[in-house]
Amino acid sequence: MRSLAHKLVEDIWNLIIQKSDEEVSDLLRKPTRLLFDAASCGNVEFLVILIRSYPDLIWKVDRRNRSLFHIAAINRHESIFNIIYELGAIKDLIASYREEATNNTLLHLVASLPPHDRLHIVSGAALQMQREILWFKAVKKIVPRSYIKSKNKEGELAQDIFTNGHKELRKEGEKWMKDTATSCMLVATLIATVVFAAAFTVPGGNNEESGLPILQKKKWFNIFILSDAVALCSSSTSIVIFLSILTSRYAEDDFLVSLPSRLMLGLLALFVSIIAMVIAFCATLFLIYDRRLAWNLAFIISLASITAFSFALLHVQLWFDTLRSAYWSKFLFQHRKHRLH
């Protein structure tokens, strides 16, 4: 679908450039300001085609002296902003543009909150805060070093604008993370309690003379012991991880990797403990009832697995979101491919 849209845009543009240079320039300049409209909407395919045909468009600025990369940063379109890495030394000049009226640098602009719809492309206030910090740090790397301590006409540093503007989002992120960790830790604690008790009350009981489990020679007994141990270890691990989330400082940098990584690992450990607990439950049934349940093995396993599948189904999106935020987001801002050549 994306390639078809790209082909359509390319065909339309090929028809447009058959007009005279004056007509094309007039179309780009007014009345809709195609370049900046495309940057604002995130239409990277259209912008790439425009810049390929008219490379000088990268120097164009709007009425407030903002380039298309300034507009892309304000609206959080990383696919467009990443084009700046293809420009070599030119990017340093473009990144130095300031708003004429406010003296805001590119860093000042990205320090403010984005439009509501762009902020919520990531689920959860904590992951939204993480994405905002990534943007701020990415822009800080490409603006002139002197701009980091530069003030606008209001006497504000970009860092001050970012900290003050994201204060509420950081509080919401902290609350969201703590609420999630508290709920998950409660489940992990219940699992740890159950499987810990099960380890000392083995199915079938113990031999009065030797003190050893009566059913220890059966294959299902080994499965029970192994799965019970895995459930106890993984649930205990998830408790420790979720506890570390609750006791975190919640500084800005904690939202970058530390908190998303802990949440992802905590959810993974909790999921493993649920699966292991279900396996231990099934093993217990087959140890006690043995042949009487053999005919219905598949049904019992399927029924017992509903818990694990329900947890996975309800939390898989959150888990992948935290995985992307913790590890894949580091590749969000980089030179991926030569789209302009």
3-state secondary structure 192-211: HHHHHHHHHCCCCCECCCCC
CB atoms within 10 A of CB 7: 11
Cβ-count burial 265-278 (b if 16+ within 10 Å, e if not) = bbbbbbbbbbbbbb
Tokens of residue 44, six digits: 């990277």
Q: 134 and 58, same structural domain?
A: yes
Tell me what pLDDT residue 32 has: 45
Q: 150 and 186, same structural domain?
A: no
Q: 307 and 191, same structural domain?
A: yes
Top-ranked range on mean pLDDT: pick from 27-41, 219-233, 304-318? 219-233
What mean pLDDT do residues 11-28 have? 64
Q: 158 and 13, same structural domain?
A: yes
Cis peptide leading into 31, omega within 30 of 0?
yes
* Residue 332 banded pLDDT, cuts 50, 70, 90: confident
> When comparing pLDDT for 117 and 284, which is higher?
117
- Check: pTM over 0.85? Answer yes or no: no
> Which of 186, 331, 326 shows the shortest CA–CA distance to 258?
326
What mean pLDDT do residues 312-329 have? 82
Q: Are 239 and 189 in contact (CB under 8 A)?
A: yes
Q: 255 and 113, same structural domain?
A: no
Q: How far is CA 334 from CA 66, 102, 141, 325, in A?
A: 22, 29, 11, 16
Asked which of 114, 139, 165 is the last residue of a domain, the reply is 165
| Distance in angstroms (rounded) separating the CA atoms of residues 153 and 150 | 10
With both helix axes pointing from N to C terminus, report the angle between 125-142 and 167-200 in degrees, rounded to the nearest 10: 130
192, pLDDT greater than 50:
yes
Q: 204 and 135, same structural domain?
A: no
258, pLDDT greater than 80:
yes
111, pLDDT greater than 90:
yes
Q: What is the pLDDT of residues 116-152, one digit of tens each?
A: 999 988 888 999 999 999 999 999 999 999 999 999 9
Is there a domain that residue 174 lies in?
Answer: yes
Q: Are 124 and 324 in contact (CB under 8 A)?
A: no
Tokens of residue 138, six digits: 């990415």
Q: 159 and 280, same structural domain?
A: no
Top-ranked range on mean pLDDT: pick from 21-25, 113-117, 198-202? 113-117
Domain extent for 7: 2-165
Asked which of 107, 135, 165 is the last residue of a domain, the reply is 165
* Residue 6 banded pLDDT, cuts 50, 70, 90: low
How many domains does one find in the chain? Answer: 2
Q: 142 and 201, same structural domain?
A: no
Is there a domain that residue 85 lies in?
Answer: yes
Is there a domain that residue 255 lies in?
Answer: yes
Q: 156 and 27, same structural domain?
A: yes
76, pLDDT greater than 70:
yes
Rg of the chain's alpha carbons, rounded to an integer?
29
What is the overall mean pLDDT for the chain? 83
Of the CA atoms within 13 Å of residue 217, those in its CB half-sphere come to: 2
335, pLDDT greater than 80:
no
Beta-sheet strands, E only, within 191-339: none
